[in-house]
Amino acid sequence: MTKIAIKDAFDLAGETAIITGGGTGLGLGMAKCFVASGARVVLVGRRKAELDKACAALGGNAFALNGDVTKLETASSIIDRAEKLAGPISILINNAGVHLKKPATETSDAEFAKLIQTNVFGAFALTREAGSRMVARKSGSILFTASMASLMGIPLVVAYSAAKSAYIGMVRSLATEWGPHGVRVNAIAPGWIASDMLDQALSGDPARKSKILGRTPMNKFGEPDDVGWAAVYLCSPASKFVTGVMLPVDGGAAIGF
Among the ranges given (1-5, 108-112, 222-226), the one the predictor scored with the smallest mean pLDDT:
1-5
Check residue 106 and give its pLDDT: 97
Whether this model's pTM surpasses 0.85? yes
**pLDDT tops 70 at residue 1:** no
**pLDDT tops 70 at residue 3:** no
Q: Looking at residues 47-70, what average pLDDT do you find?
A: 94
Q: Looking at residues 84-110, what average pLDDT do you find?
A: 94
For residue range 114-161, what is the model confidence (pLDDT) as tens digits?
Answer: 999 989 999 999 999 999 999 999 999 999 999 999 999 988 999 999
Cα separations (Å) of 157 from 52, 112, 174, 185? 32, 10, 26, 26
For residue range 178-223, what is the model confidence (pLDDT) as tens digits?
Answer: 999 999 999 999 999 988 778 877 877 888 889 999 999 999 999 9
167 is an active site residue: no
Check residue 158 and give its pLDDT: 95
Enumerate domains of the chain plus CATH numbers: 10-195+225-248 (3.40.50.720)
Average pLDDT along the chain: 93
Q: Looking at residues 219-234, what average pLDDT do you find?
A: 96
Catalytic residue among 34, 160, 221, 233: 160
**pLDDT tops 60 at residue 243:** yes
